[in-house]
Chain A
Amino acid sequence: GQQLNQSPQSMFIQEGEDVSMNCTSSSIFNTWLWYKQDPGEGPVLLIALYKAGELTSNGRLTAQFGITRKDSFLNISASIPSDVGIYFCAGWNTGNQFYFGTGTSLTVIP
């Protein structure tokens, strides 16, 4: 079935570096969401995007709703150790179906 493909699957970066990850779909989405999940916790909503081309920031995080409406991007600037976790994209497509991405695991090396 429909799947949101995230890349990269995992990242190992040095503290202070910037991070970029993306999420792609075969269908058109109306809403894109980015979540972070820490071990033993539930996913926490980071950013919600509602319009093609929209660029939204939340502190050091910036996400964009792709122009084609089939992708979205998340950037983290100046990473710190507490950025460690799994980042999931998610969204509602034009068929009113909700999907989660496969996740990007981020490790920040102090």
Chain B
Amino acid sequence: NAGVMQNPRHLVRRRGQEARLRCSPMKGHSHVYWYRQLPEEGLKFMVYLQKENIIDESGMPKERFSAEFPKEGPSILRIQQVVRGDSAAYFCASSPPGTPYNSPLHFGNGTRLTVT
């Protein structure tokens, strides 16, 4: 009965490298959300995806950030050419199929990205 699985839990990258964060939603869930959290702050929405579709990316920076949720496999949040300001905890959440607009989101334990 696995929940939302994120890996890695911790990721260290040097400035200019690429970071790839993976998220496997709860079994049977088809909606995936990515959030970013800075220390002592709340969660900021980045992107909402369904299988093979980006539904809402209004919270995603226009450059260097991309997300996908392929037909097979986990959702990937990709950050190219990381900078120190990208250091944060990135959380993935999922919700069941059907209309998502009243469903609770279930969160993973996050990936803590540190850019040195």
Binding site for B on A (CB under 8 A): 30-31, 33, 35, 40-45, 48, 50, 88, 90, 92, 96, 98, 100-103
Contacts and interface: CB of A to CB of B under 8 A. Distances in A.
Given A30-B101, A33-B105, A43-B91, 13 more contacts: A31-B103, A40-B109, A42-B91, A42-B109, A42-B110, A50-B102, A88-B42, A92-B101, A92-B102, A96-B101, A98-B45, A100-B45, A103-B42
A40 B91 CA distance: 11
Contacts of B110: 41-42
A31 B101 CA distance: 8
Given A88-B42, A101-B42, A102-B42, A45 B106 contact: yes
Interface of B: 4, 6, 33, 35, 42-43, 45, 91, 101-110, 112
A33 B43 contact: no
5 contacts: A33-B104, A35-B107, A45-B107, A100-B42, A101-B42
Pairs A-B, 10 closest by C-beta atoms: A42-B107, A96-B101, A42-B109, A31-B102, A43-B107, A48-B104, A100-B43, A92-B101, A45-B104, A42-B110
- Mostly helix, strand, loop or mixed at chain A's interface? strand
B102 A43 contact: no
Nearest to A4: B42
Contacts of A30: 101-102
> Which of A42, A92, A96, A100 has the most chain B CB within a 10 Å cutoff?
A42
A63 to B, nearest CB: 13
Given A30-B102, A31-B102, A42 B108 contact: yes
Contacts of A101: 42
A84 to B, nearest CB: 15
A41 B109 contact: yes
Nearest to A6: B42
Contacts of A33: 104-105
A52 B66 CA distance: 38
